[in-house]
Amino acid sequence: VRWRRSPRGLPHVPRQLPLDPYPLASRRVEKSYRVLARRPTDPEAHTEPAPAALQDEPPAAQRLPRAETRMSALVSTCFFLSIAGSIAFCCCYVFLNIHTADHGFHQNIALGLALATTMFGLGAGQILLAKHLEPPVKAVQHRSEHHSAPDDEHAAEEQLIGGMTELGIAQRRVLRRTLLTALGILPLPFIFTLRDTGPRPENRLRANAWRPHDRMVDPDTGAPLKLGDLAVGSFATVMPEGRTDTSKPINAESVVVVLHLPPGSNHPLAGRQDWVVNDHIAYSKICTHAGCPLGLYEVEEHALVCPCHQSEFDVTHGGRVMYGPAGHSLPQLPIYVDAQGYFRARDTFHVALGPAFWSRTG
Ligand code: FES
């Protein structure tokens, strides 16, 4: 766009910008120029009124072509969408209760959707803004040197040493030590705030649903397991009677398998001689690696196999790990058979069930 002076010394502004591919950008330049032209630059200009043609010119926003107006509205809608998503996210976080039976599943979906709306609105708005409304400006930024000049480095060193000398830090030993200590323990408050990252598990990780003399029942039918129900080399999944509701985590983690070992194959650990009854032995069904349910009993190998990462537990040697990434033996449950022939727990588990955790030793 070429600008020229009118005979009266005021700028002449063309009404139309022919063949301009970026009309919005040109209008911005035009508007800026008009503002500059109205500023008084000398006392005479201050007294001279601006020509009526310039004063009456409608604002640039009113002269936007339709397509640009629509695009501008679309971009604003995207940004409004993003704002609504952010507000919805905050509301979901504050008002939705995550301690529900589905462990906050629906709340997580709501939070995810709100966040997705926020990001989508912002991203789409920016893309449309950049592609359709921004003037194409080519910007080049030259890289600067990544280090200071040697003279500057030298000067900075001298300044630092000079400042420390002036402060007398080297001589004031107490001051120096307290300063260093204060800086050293500065991260501590932030570390302590990690306590707020969630409720403490307390004893929950070590708790289980089994009580002494609990009868072992099928979790689906509730039928008690009886001596003689299992053929040699087979196994059954059981839970404590009355606590088969697997929606409760403590029950779900307490599932047990009872195996009928080949006669004489068991090698009980010290103190566990009476934990087995008639070659029947019971172990936790939850893998000690990452908590998958053990699904396969290899009779010839005497191994319970985890389908997730192929850990194998030797059921004839106290559930020790034979192979795989599991770091702990499978917890064994002492059992007996009552007068009616039903299997019962002799005691509860005395070690934590399932995956290892940071303070677990058993
Ligand atoms: S969960 Fe069983 S081996 Fe990984």
CA distances to 78, 229, 328, 334 from 361, in Å: 54, 35, 9, 20
Instruction: Enter the pTM of the model.
Output: 0.51
Q: What is the pLDDT of residue 17?
A: 46
The neighbouring-strand residues paired with 234 are: none
Instruction: Report, as an integer, the average pLDDT of 290-300.
Output: 91
Q: Cα separation of 307 and 88, whole Å?
A: 41
Q: What is the pLDDT of residue 43?
A: 46
Instruction: Report, as an integer, the average pLDDT of 135-160.
Output: 84
State the chain's maximal CA–CA distance in angstroms: 120
Cβ neighbors of 290 (< 8 A, separation 6 or more) are 308, 309, 355
Q: What is the pLDDT of residue 140?
A: 84
Q: What is the pLDDT of residue 44?
A: 47
**pLDDT tier, 314 (very low <50, low <70, confident <90, very high otherwise):** very high
Which residue among 286, 311, 353 is best mutated to probe the pocket of ligand 1, counting the most ligand atoms within 8 A of its Cβ? 311
Instruction: Report, as an integer, the average pLDDT of 317-327.
Output: 92
Residue nearest to atom 1 of ligand 1 (CA): 290
Which residue among 283, 304, 306 is best mutated to probe the pocket of ligand 1, counting the most ligand atoms within 8 A of its Cβ? 306
Q: What is the pLDDT of residue 295?
A: 83
Averaged pLDDT of the chain: 81
Instruction: Report, as an integer, the average pLDDT of 326-337.
Output: 93
Q: How far is the CA of 325 from the centre of ligand 1 (A)?
A: 7
CA distances to 29, 69, 172, 289 from 17, in Å: 11, 18, 73, 73
Got the DSSP string for 300-324?
TTTEEE-TTT--EEETTTTTEEEES
51 phi, psi to nearest 5 deg: -60, 145
Q: What is the pLDDT of residue 45?
A: 44
Instruction: Report, as an integer, the average pLDDT of 29-37.
Output: 52
Q: Cα separation of 335 and 341, whole Å?
A: 12
Q: What is the pLDDT of residue 47?
A: 45
Q: How far is the CA of 314 from the centre of ligand 1 (A)?
A: 15
For ligand 1, is residue 289 a contact (CB within 6 Å)? Answer: yes
Picking from 156-170, 218-232, 253-267, 297-311, which range would have the lowest pLDDT averaged per residue?
Answer: 156-170
Picking from 54-68, 120-134, 346-360, which range would have the lowest pLDDT averaged per residue?
Answer: 54-68
What is the percent of the chain where pLDDT is above 70? Answer: 79
- Predicted confidence (pLDDT) at residue 78 exceeds the cutoff of 50: yes
CA distances to 222, 242, 269, 328, 361 from 348, in Å: 20, 15, 17, 18, 17
Q: How far is the CA of 304 from the centre of ligand 1 (A)?
A: 11
Q: Cα separation of 197 and 80, whole Å?
A: 32
Instruction: Give 204-235 pLDDT, tens digit per residue.
Output: 778 899 999 999 999 999 999 999 999 999 99
Among 241, 249, 334, 350, which residue's Cα sits nearest to residue 291?
A: 249
Q: How far is the CA of 300 from the centre of ligand 1 (A)?
A: 21
Q: What is the pLDDT of residue 147?
A: 79
Q: Cα separation of 362 and 356, whole Å?
A: 9
- Predicted confidence (pLDDT) at residue 156 exceeds the cutoff of 60: yes
Question: Which SS3 state, helix, strand or coil, does residue 286 take?
Answer: strand
The neighbouring-strand residues paired with 329 are: none
Q: How far is the CA of 351 from the centre of ligand 1 (A)?
A: 18
